[in-house]
Structure 1
Amino acid sequence: MTDSSPKEPSAKTRQTRTGLTATGARKAAAKSNRSRSREFALQALYQHLVGRNDPTDIDHFTRDLAGFHKADAAHYDALLHGSIREEVELDAMIVPLLDRKLAEISPVEHAVMWIGVYEFKHCLDVPWRVVLNECIELAKEFGGTDGHKYVNAVLNGLAPQLRSLEVEADRASGKARA
Structure 2
Amino acid sequence: MEKSSPEKRTKATRSGARRCALQALYQWQVTGFSPAQIERQFLEEMADGGARLPYFAEILHGVTDHCEAIDAALGRFTDRPVAEIDPIERAILRVGAYELLYRREVPYRAVLNEAINLGKAFGGTHKSYKYVNGVLDKLAHEVRAEEVAAARRQKLA
Normalised-by-shorter TM-score class:
0.7 to 0.9
Q: Which position in structure 1 is the counterpart of 2:100?
A: 120
- When Rg is computed on C-alpha atoms for both structures, the one with the higher figure is 1
Aligned to 1:72: 52
Report the secondary structure of 2:49's partner residue: helix
How many residues align? The count is 146
Instruction: Kindly provide the CA deviation profile for residues 61-85 of structure 1, in whole angstroms up to 9, marking residues without a partner as x.
Output: 1112257515522211110001000
Q: Against the structure 1 CA distance between its residues 147 and 71, is the aligned structure 2 distance closer, same or farther, given a 3 Å change threshold? A: farther
Match for residue 142 of structure 2?
A: 161
Report the Cα offset of residue 160 of structure 1: 1.4
Distance 1:71 1:133 in 2: 21
State the alpha-carbon separation in 1 of the partners of residues 83 and 13 from structure 2: 31
Which residue identity does 1:109 align to in structure 2?
A: E
User: 1:37 maps to which residue?
Assistant: 17
In 1, Cα distance between equivalents of 2:15 and 2:140: 19
Secondary structure of 1:92's partner? Answer: helix
Q: Which runs of 4+ in 1 moved over 4 A?
A: none
Q: Which runs of 5+ in 2 are unaligned?
A: 1-8
Q: Which amino acid aligns with 2:106?
A: V
Opposite residue 31 of structure 2, the aligned amino acid is G
Q: Distance in 2 between matches of 1:116 and 1:68?
A: 25
Distance 1:90 1:62, change over 3 A: same
1:41-60 mapped onto 2 (5 Å cutoff): 41-60=21-40
Give the helix-richer structure, 1 or 2: 2
5+ unaligned residues in a row in structure 1: which ranges?
Answer: 1-29
Length-normalised TM-score, structure 2 = 0.86
TM-score, normalising length: structure 1: 0.76
**Partners of 1:173 and 1:159 in 2: CA distance:** 17
- The residue that corresponds to 1:20 in the other structure is none
Identify the residue that residue 151 of structure 1 maps to in structure 2. 132
Structure number with higher relative contact order (C-alpha < 8 Å, ≥ 6 residues apart): 2
Corresponding letter in the other structure for 1:172: R
Of all paired residues, the percent bearing the same amino acid is 40
Letter in 1 for 2:38: I
**Aligned residue in 2 for 1:99:** 79
